[in-house]
Amino acid sequence: MILKRFAWALWSVVPVAALAYHYGPGQAIYLHDRAAELQDHALQLEAEALQLHDEAYAIHLNSVAARRKAAEDPTPEAESRATAAAALESRAFKRASHAWKLAADAFGNIEQVAQHALPETLRAIRWSRSRALVRAGDLWNGISELELLLSELDAVGEAQASMATTTREELAAAYYYAARLMRLSGEPAEQWLIESGKARQQFRYLAEQARADRVNAEMTKDYERNVELVLDLEQSTLLEIQGKPLPKNSPLGRAGRRPGRGEGKTRRPPDRRDGRGAGGAADIFEGW
């Protein structure tokens, strides 16, 4: 997942054969074959993006370490190594971002072919595209799509379904990525705190939901840990944040302010859950 241990292969539960459900026999065969071809291509691009992002993140950790060393021992040699590491990091994330954009476009092509497919199939495609947009660095468009998807699931009475949970996980993480990048790029607190507040709210809800539904205890603790990480972002100094690595699946760069007033279509968790805080602030660990 967005976090340290969750991953949900949507395509494993939404076979491409479902794309042909609403079509006539002749058209269905063509569309099924075309959708299968597009799906294979999209999944290949997604796998390549994941690999490039993992490689970029490893370089990012080296860059963070080089910056720390230069701060502790500001010699010309250390500063030169930090500068070189930062340049390498930037190039690596640009490659990963481009790969994610290609994957997002590929999932969008599937959606065009599958316009009359089952709703759950279309939502799975949109989820994959939205996640790719976020990881490509197109945070606000990805977030808007995830918010819309979550709103639709709520409207059809599926706010507690697994798709809603997975969408909320991705949305909470995307809010966090945006808040952290906004803070690192110097946006005022009244702007990035809007996004961190949304992230904290969503993670609290997920923790309360997991606890109430008596799911895996480790999963509940992970959600609570995520609440703590958001609190850490809000309570730490900028210098402390600058010395910590990004979350593993976060893009690199500037998020900028959200278009419009900056609040967007906030998807608040249902009121029936009481999401109280988890623990105190803690360090972001490598690989989150």
Q: Is residue 137 part of a domain?
A: no
Q: Is residue 206 part of a domain?
A: yes
Give me the domain span that covers residue 236. Answer: 171-288
Q: Is residue 134 part of a domain?
A: no
3-state secondary structure of 263: coil
Is 80 exceeded by the pLDDT of residue 263? no
Q: Is residue 275 part of a domain?
A: yes
- pTM here is 0.81
Q: Following DSSP, what letter does each residue of 6-17 receive, concatenated?
A: ----GGGTS-GG
Q: Is residue 3 part of a domain?
A: no
142 neighbors 108 (Cβ within 8 angstroms): no
Q: Is residue 250 part of a domain?
A: yes
Q: Is residue 83 part of a domain?
A: no
Question: Measured between alpha carbons, how far is 268 from 248 in angstroms, rounded to an integer?
Answer: 25
Q: Is residue 108 part of a domain?
A: no
If you average pLDDT over each of 66-75, 96-105, 113-122, 160-169, which comes out highest? 96-105
- What's the number of domains the chain is made of? 1
What pLDDT shows up at residue 212? 84
Question: Measured between alpha carbons, how far is 171 from 121 in angstroms, rounded to an integer?
Answer: 19
63 neighbors 246 (Cβ within 8 angstroms): no
pLDDT in tens, 186-214: 999 999 999 999 999 999 999 998 888 77
